[in-house]
Amino acid sequence: MENRRPRAKKRGLTDRPPRFDREQISLQVMVLPAFLSVVVFSVIPISGVIISFMDYKLGGGLFNGQWVGLKHFADMFSDKLFLRALRNTVVISFLDMVFCFPAPIILALLFNEAPFKRFKRLAQTGSYLPHFLSYVVVAAFWKIILDNKGIVNNFLLSAGIVNAPVEFWTTPKYYWPLTVIVSLWKNAGWGAIIYFAAITNVSAEVYEAAIVDGAGRFRRVFSILLPAIMGTIVVMGIMRLAGLFNASFDQSYLLGNVFNRDVSYVISYYTIELGLRRMNFSYSTAINLFQSTASLILLIAANTYAKRKSDASIF
C-alpha cells in the first residue's frame, strides 16, 4: 500500500489569529489619558536626573551644564545636614513600619469581630474620616490639642500628673512618638479597608465550621483570618519597606520647628529646601536620585525575599 500523507487538520476557532475588537476602542480611549499622564509626568522627567552629574544653572539648558561626575554624591555623604536628615528619615520610617503598619491589620480584625453592626459601621466611618482631611488641618488640630492650654495639658495639670504645661511640639524627645500617633490617627482607618476587603473573601463555610468545632475568637483569627490575608500583608509590607527613605514631608514641614529641627528634618524637606530656596538643582537632584535608587533596591530585595519564603510577591 502506498504511504499516504496525513491530512492537515482543520484550523479551529482557537487557532485563528486574534482580530481587533472594535468594541474595545472606547475602553482603550478611556485608558489613554492615564497612560499619557504617566508618560508626561513620570517617564519623560527621568531624563532630568542627568543634571545630578552636572553643575546645572537655571536657564542654560538641560544638557549645557558642566559635567562634574559623582561630585554631588561625594558632597552628599560629607554633608552633616544631609546625614542628620537621613537619620531622621530612617528612624521615622522605621517607627512607622513598626507601629503604623500592623495597626490597620489589627483594626480590620477588630471590625470583623465587632458584634453589633451599627457600632461596626459607625466605628468604620469614624476611622476613615481623618484620611480625607488635609495635613494642614490635621497639623492645626494636633497643635491645638497639645498646646500649653490645650485639652491634654489641662487634663495633665488637673490630674496632678505634671506641675507645669508640657511643651510637646518644642521638646525634641516628643517629636518622634507624636509623629507615630498622628500617622496612626490619620491613616490607620483608611489602611484597614484593604485588609477588611481581604477578610471578606474568607469562606463563610470554613468560618462557621470552626465555630461548630469550638474554636474561639483568637483561634479563628490566628488559624483562619490571618493566613487568608497573609498575601495582602506581605505585598503591603514590601511597599512599606520600599518607602524607608521617604518619610512624610508634610509632618516635617507642618509639625517641625526650630526647636525640634534636629529630629524633624527629613530628606524630602532637605531636597525641597535645596532646590527651591537655594536654587541648587544639581545637588537636590542627586539626593532625590539616591532616594529613588535606595527605594528600588529595597523593593527588589524585599520582593525577592518574600517570593522565596512565601507565594506572595509584587512581581
pLDDT band (50, 70, 90) for residue 17? low
Q: What's the pLDDT at 1? A: 45
Whether the per-residue pLDDT at 4 is higher than 60: the answer is: no
The C-alpha angle with vertex 165 and arms to 179 and 99, in degrees rounded to 5, equals 20
Q: Which amino acid is present at 70?
A: L
The predicted model scores a pTM of: 0.82
Between 79 and 207, where is the model more confident? Answer: 79
Residue 186 has pLDDT above 50, yes or no: yes
Contact indicator for 195, 229 with CB cutoff of 8 Å? yes
Over residues 28-43, the mean pLDDT reads: 89
* CA atoms lying within 13 Å on the CB side of residue 188: 24
pLDDT mean over 179-202? 90
Query: Rounded to whole angstroms, how far apart are CA atoms 246 and 255?
Result: 17
- According to the per-residue pLDDT averaged within each range, which of 2-16, 25-39, 119-133, 176-190 is highest? 176-190
Supply the pLDDT for residue 210.
Answer: 82
6: pLDDT strictly greater than 70: no
Closest CA to 123 of 147, 105, 107: 107
Q: What percent of the chain has pLDDT over 90?
A: 42
Residue 66 — φ and ψ, nearest 5°?
A: -80, 130
18: pLDDT strictly greater than 80: no
Question: In the numeric block, which cell numbers belong to residue 223?
Answer: 488559624
Return the minimum-mean-pLDDT range out of 11-25, 202-216, 225-239, 277-291: 11-25
Q: DSSP character for 17?
A: P
| Superfamily name with CATH number, domain 70-132+188-309 | MetI-like (1.10.3720.10)
Average pLDDT in the chain:
86
pLDDT exceeds cutoff 90 at 113: no
CA–CA separation, 202 and 248 (whole Å): 34
**How far is Cα 53 from Cα 13, in angstroms, rounded to an integer?**
56
Tell me the three cell numbers of residue 207. Answer: 468560618
pLDDT surpassing 70 at residue 60: no
Q: Which helix (H) or strand (E) holds 113?
A: helix 102-113
Q: Which amino acid is at 180?
A: V
DSSP code per residue over 114-159: -S-HHHHHHHHHHHHGGGGS-HHHHHHHHHHHTSTTSHHHHHHHHT
State yes or no: pLDDT of 179 exceeds 70: yes
What pLDDT sits at residue 104? Answer: 93
Higher-confidence position of 182 and 4:
182
Percent over 70 (pLDDT), the chain: 92
- The pLDDT value recorded for residue 42 is 82
